[in-house]
Structure 1
Amino acid sequence: MRLAFVSFETAHHRDSETNQRFRTILELLAQRGHDVHWYCADFWTDQGATLEREGITYHAVVDGLDARHSFLVRLPFVLAAANPDVIHTSAQPPSQVLAARVGAVLARTPLVLEWYGDDGIPETRWTQLAADRPDRIVTPSELVATWAQEIGADGGIIETAPNPIDCERVRDVDPGEDVDVIYARRLDEGANLESLLLGLAELRDRDWQATVVGDGPERERYETLASDLRIDDRVTFVGDLELDERIAAYRGAHVFAQTAEHCVFPTEMLWAIAAGCVGIVEYHANSSAHELVEGWDRGFRTTSEDELAEAILAAGDLEHREYDDRFADYDRSAVADQYLEQYRTLQEDHGLL
């Protein structure tokens, strides 16, 4: 299929979760041999109006991020001329969804809206208009799907698709050091690592070791808290690790704890539980992490430090694993199939197949 993706800003402009997710989708479909085109603002120089990179053709609709208005004006005509089978747009900025809708009408092709929501979905006139334009909306979780419906999106056109992982890569990495509990996230104001540290402090009379993966502005505060709680000799802060190093750590660990207050999709937790970890989630209203462990016999949902400590103890009765094939549906190939199935369904609905 010839696929037209629209995002004024790319991960080359700003390395946000939304932009990373959008790029991942294009990469998945390009690797499957589809003709993938990204219409965006220019982020390269002296290479013409297009750039070929990793199977993706980038099209500079405008030069740089200062030309947003020109991007919106030009986009419908650029898309119509491209004659794609499907147009797939990011939700940021929401005004581009309206421009992409016009382009889809001119091209007589369906429009898919990717709403990742890592900054939430503010209830504004533009987001409400954007919610009413696509033929299909894709979100990473039921949490974001609910946010979209709250601003007026039709729940009947919303599908969820997770951030993918590479199951073969998980199996290929050798397990790392044995550890009882592992946590991984950027250590910023939303990390909420104190919940885990307080829960572990409740178990200071037990024999355990914990690892914290990640760095950030709050790391020193968390290290001080571990010292104040007299568990710093059993909590190792290892800083940022490359993906294969993290996978090795997860395959060696027994429990992965997810306590962050805001999370539209718990990607690191997914890598960890696919690598065999028992999953323990502290529930928060703005986190979808609990969705991964609902109905799973190796997952626990907690609401307090005491419950978290009890869950860690209960997890000790479960066998240690280094891979869990339950999460094969989250593999890159499976997620690519999910998108392609949506595209084909929309084409059939529009009489294009």
Structure 2
Amino acid sequence: MPVAEEKPLTIVIAADTYLPNVNGAAMFCYRLATEMHARGHRVHVLAVRGDDGKTFTEIRDEAIVHRLKSHSVPTHEYFRIVAPWEVNRQIDRLLADIKPDVIHAQSHYMIGQRSVGWAKKNKVRSVATNHFMPENLDPFLPFPQWFKRIVAHNSWKDMGKIFGRADAVTTPTPLAAKAMRERAKLMNVLPLSNGIEVGNYELAPGEQIIKNDFPTILFAGRLAVEKNIHELIEALPLMTQVPDAIIEIVGGGEQRVHLEKIADDLGIRDRVRFLGLVSDEELRQAYLRCDVFCQPGTAELQSLVTLEALSASRPVVLANAMALPHLVDEGVNGYMFKPGDRQDLADKLDRILALSEDERAKLGQAGHRKVMNHAQRKTMDSFEALYRGEKVSTH
């Protein structure tokens, strides 16, 4: 009997970031809420309010979302934080009213911390998932590096203390699980992929994609410092085998003006196309239209956009950093490059774009086979089992 046919659960997803924010953690929470709702569970989300004002509740298709009073952060385009003295009692009241069977915290900061604490105190099952490394905050902390190291150390320590109270702890990749064991002293961390609906990015039978006139490199994601998109732009004029390649950049973020200036200064502005925020279908078309996908970010715990590109059967060139090497079999579905080495990046892009269309298709097919290990149904089945207190295997 499928798990979904058992008694429906009341699930609370405690998320510091949620739609309309566009980032990996927010999209995972949305997909999780959508799937659990579709399986017949009652889903509530605790998240920050996206603008100034009091806490309020909104009814969305996938969940009842409780937007908590929040404050903007001057160093980030949209990230907002809650003040514990303003929202902790509100969180307690909301959880008491909701009467959840399980609470799923998405970070150990603010909302997640209070929710896990409430669950422990009230003997409610809790699951905690870590989506990022504390060092990811570096670009947004206006402090010297020595002070940032202290912040990161204390954040890891807090993660261990807070997540150590949860009944189950997960993170998207084995690499992240290893880091959490070593730095947060969390011994029982399940590496559990965020999952992806592979079929969403496959070419439909008989579907025709209008390709660009020039070989196309795609980047998709937030235009943020840690994504290192400038390295991709600066590598473009270093390509020699395919000197007419162009870059399409999908996404918005605080770095756009800076990136446009780099392209202007290099005299390649006509070869770097900023598409901004696009619809899901437009993003799908961009994956299917490109010839190679590039992710130069060095702080990726999984990289959903890379999984999406692999689902679309695109070869990839990824930074040899964090979790990205887990997604590349060298020469089989793409290549890795040394972070910061523009020439190495240019050479790897050249190597793929110089291949025949059939040869690139073979790389893409290999990538598609690899991404099947990250099928969304497998992920959602695992989280549903964790919610019920069942044992989950990651093999």
Question: TM-score normalized by structure 1?
Answer: 0.77
Match of 1:175 among 204, 209, 227: 209
Q: Which range moves more in the overlay, 19-28 or 132-141?
A: 19-28
Q: Is residue 135 from structure 1 mapped to residue 167 from structure 2 by the alignment?
A: yes
Q: Is residue 93 from structure 1 mapped to residue 93 from structure 2 by the alignment?
A: no
- Measured on the aligned residues, the alpha-carbon RMSD in Å equals 3.7
Runs (5+) with no aligned partner, structure 1: none
**1:278: how far off?**
0.6
Q: Which range moves more in the overlay, 218-227 or 195-204?
A: 218-227
Secondary structure of the residue aligned to 1:88 is: strand
In the alignment, what sits opposite 1:144? 176
Inter-partner Cα distance in structure 2 for 1:58 and 1:158: 27
- 1:112-135 superposed Cα distances (whole Å, 9 cap, x missing partner): 012212654833354332132112
Note if contact 2:16-2:111 (Cα within 8 Å) is conserved in structure 1. Answer: no
Inter-partner Cα distance in structure 1 for 2:179 and 2:223: 26
In the alignment, what sits opposite 2:247? 211
Match of 2:290 among 253, 259, 275: 253
Inter-partner Cα distance in structure 2 for 1:290 and 1:319: 19
In the alignment, what sits opposite 2:142? none
In the alignment, what sits opposite 1:123? 153
Secondary structure of the residue aligned to 1:308 is: helix
Change (3 A) 1:99 1:202: closer
Inter-partner Cα distance in structure 2 for 1:99 and 1:2: 17
Letter in 2 for 1:158: L
Inter-partner Cα distance in structure 2 for 1:17 and 1:123: 23
Secondary structure of the residue aligned to 1:171 is: coil
Change (3 A) 1:283 1:41: closer
- 1:154-176 superposed Cα distances (whole Å, 9 cap, x missing partner): 23233322253452354347524
Q: Which range moves more in the overlay, 28-37 or 328-337?
A: 328-337
Inter-partner Cα distance in structure 1 for 2:15 and 2:84: 8
Note if contact 1:3-1:88 (Cα within 8 Å) is conserved in structure 2. Answer: no
* Aligned pairs for 1:211-250 within 5 A: 211-214=247-250, 215-250=252-287
Letter in 2 for 1:156: N
Inter-partner Cα distance in structure 2 for 1:260 and 1:330: 20
Inter-partner Cα distance in structure 1 for 2:116 and 2:208: 45
Secondary structure of the residue aligned to 1:337 is: helix
Secondary structure of the residue aligned to 1:117 is: coil
**1:275: how far off?**
0.9
Letter in 2 for 1:261: T
Note if contact 1:170-1:275 (Cα within 8 Å) is conserved in structure 2. Answer: yes
Match of 2:376 among 332, 344, 352: 332
Runs (5+) with no aligned partner, structure 2: 1-7, 71-81, 137-151
Match of 1:162 among 194, 219, 242: 194
In the alignment, what sits opposite 1:31? 38
Secondary structure of the residue aligned to 1:319 is: helix
Instruction: Report sequence identity in percent.
Output: 18
Q: Which range moves more in the overlay, 124-133 or 22-31?
A: 124-133
Q: Is residue 110 from structure 1 mapped to residue 115 from structure 2 by the alignment?
A: no
Matched residue pairs, number?
Answer: 340
Secondary structure of the residue aligned to 2:377 is: helix
In the alignment, what sits opposite 1:312? 349
